[in-house]
Amino acid sequence: MESDQKDLSLCSVRDAAREFCAERDWQPFHTPRNLLLALVGEVGELSEIFQWKGECAPGLPDFTDRERVHLGEELADVFLYLVRLADVCGVDLASATLRKLALNRAKYPADQVRGSSQKYSEYHSSSTADASPAGTPSD
């Protein structure tokens, strides 16, 4: 796999991570629990990059080139552990992702939530409460 390749498939990343693990005989250590804990650790390292910076504008214009490289490395670590965890758990991450997007589209209809950060239960209950007869519980 070339390092400058822009469009990677999840399958190619999964296969490369499997190969990397197999070359080192790390399969006994790549249990779901261990991979999850490693993932959480990497998310912590990712969080440290943003800690104490306050709000960051999209595109991170105030980041140095060095900070951007570090950010990319930590994002890649999180991504690799996530892909590896899904693989070890037997989850088709691509299918699960598309399914979750479809569920979220239904849960957060664009015409009802556009420009709002409310949780679905907040806008759903307010819209159904308006439509529910008095005394009728709403979903």
- Residue identified by tokens 């999964």 is 14
pLDDT in tens, the chain (139 residues): 445 567 789 999 999 999 999 999 999 999 999 999 999 999 999 999 999 888 988 999 899 999 999 999 999 999 999 999 999 999 999 999 999 999 999 999 999 888 888 877 777 655 544 443 444 344 4
User: Are 16 and 1 spatial neighbours (Cβ–Cβ below 8 Å)?
Assistant: yes
pTM above 0.85, yes or no: no
Integer Rg of the chain from CA: 21
